[in-house]
Amino acid sequence: MIFLAIVLTFYCGVNLYIFLHGLQAFSISPVIRKIYIFAFILLAAAFFLGRILERVKIGIISNTLVWVGSYWLAAMVYFLLLVLLIDIVRLIQYQIPFLPHILYQNPQKARFYLGIGSLVIVGLVLIAGRVNTLCPRIRQLELKINKKIAGDKEFKIALASDLHLGTVVGPRQVQKLVEQINIISPDLILFAGDLIDEDSGLLIKKDLGKQLQDLRAPLGVFSVTGNHEYFGGIETVTGYLESHGITLLRDSVITLSNGIVLVGRVDREAHQFTRKNRRSLGELLKSIDRGKPIILIDHQPVNLREAVENQVSLQLSGHTHHGQLWPFNYMTSAIYRLSYGYRKIGDTHFYVSCGYGTWGPLIRTSSRPEIVALKLIFNN
């Protein structure tokens, strides 16, 4: 409740700041002013109204509100940046006048045109971010691991994370994901958490992930829990995913037929929902021969040193979305030692995926959605 109160206070404060600036711009006539006030309130409230209605009844109204509100979340970010920029320019103008005097001959008209220009700029950014989201890529990565496996020394993994299957991300995105993964022809398919978004009721009612059953990999399809699996109800989500051919690793370890040890950890925020702390990596690997290749899936890329100390060969994570919307990628880069991409620390390889889906709007401006095709070469 405290967290929700903080989020709502911040959200309302940002929207009020944008609203007051927009009100100055669109008060050029009483009609435009009324339209602006009504549209702004509807857009700002849509996401939360939609989420509340989903709890009562899932339908076209709740879905539409969530869609509209999700896109407003992205628009809000860029309107905020524009308004901040405008205020900075005004402050500089107050101290050192440099703007053309023609702007002051009809201030109301100048503000109106500035408002229209802001709408155009934000609209173009959203369109570009939407197009970027619709064009996921397959990223190729080859890693050499100085350990042995049985059989062929080359091993292929398809990694995806943060699909956020729900109201906004639906069957079409899943179908595209499945097709791209199957093109890779991986030996093993791994998901690094947040396969679903928040409402498991919608997921099950519309069977949004039914195409996941078409995934093909001889050694199986595995996933770990992200924080959003707990939002949707972990037991319900686990049952749904496993009925669709995905094995959920929850603080568990399995050994594949070629000798690779696969470790899946529950999300670090699980204790907030289950009142149980996740097991330490050392405890999970207590009976495992560290001379074997160990692949760890951990949704959030935190405490990377723990993987190095336990001689993990490869850790795969997601969660960050690399910010999803610019400039939030700078924030995630400041928070996480590795926010996105590849790094090797000691003898341990790390890869953090920016994800395939999106949270909130189907818009990405800081990274391109991806599936990672990992080719592991072992020292046989």
pLDDT digits (tens, 9 = 90+) for 6-55: 888 999 999 999 999 999 999 999 999 999 999 999 999 999 998 888 77
Location of structure tokens 């080359």:
154
pLDDT beneath 50, residues of the chain: none
**Residue type (1 letter), 151:** G
Q: H-type helices in the chain, by residue range?
A: 2-25, 30-56, 60-95, 107-133, 171-184, 200-205, 227-231, 234-243, 271-274, 281-284, 304-309, 328-335
What is the CB-side half-sphere exposure of residue 225 using CA atoms within 13 A?
Answer: 29
What's the pLDDT score for residue 176?
Answer: 94
For residues 81 and 225, the answer to whether their CB atoms sit within 8 Å is no
What local confidence, expressed as pLDDT, does residue 101 receive? 76
Going across the sheet that includes 252-255, the strands are: 252-255, 261-264, 294-297, 314-317, 348-352, 341-345
**In the chain, what are the domains?**
2-132 (no CATH), 138-378 (3.60.21.10)
**Residue 345 β-bridge partners:** 348
From CA 371, how far away is CA 351, in angstroms rounded? Answer: 12
What pLDDT is attached to residue 379? 87
| Contact status, residue 36 vs residue 24, Cβ threshold 8 Å | no
268 DSSP β-pair partners: none
Q: What is the pLDDT of residues 102-116, one digit of tens each?
A: 777 788 898 999 999
pLDDT at 223: 96
Q: In what order do the strands lie in the sheet with 370-378?
A: 137-145, 370-378, 154-160, 188-191, 221-224, 247-249
pLDDT digits (tens, 9 = 90+) for 254-289: 999 999 999 999 999 888 888 888 999 999 999 999
Q: What pLDDT was estimated at residue 275?
A: 82
Amino acid occupying residue 125: V
pLDDT at residue number 203: 79
| Angle, CA 278 vertex, CA 280 and CA 311 arms, to 5° | 25
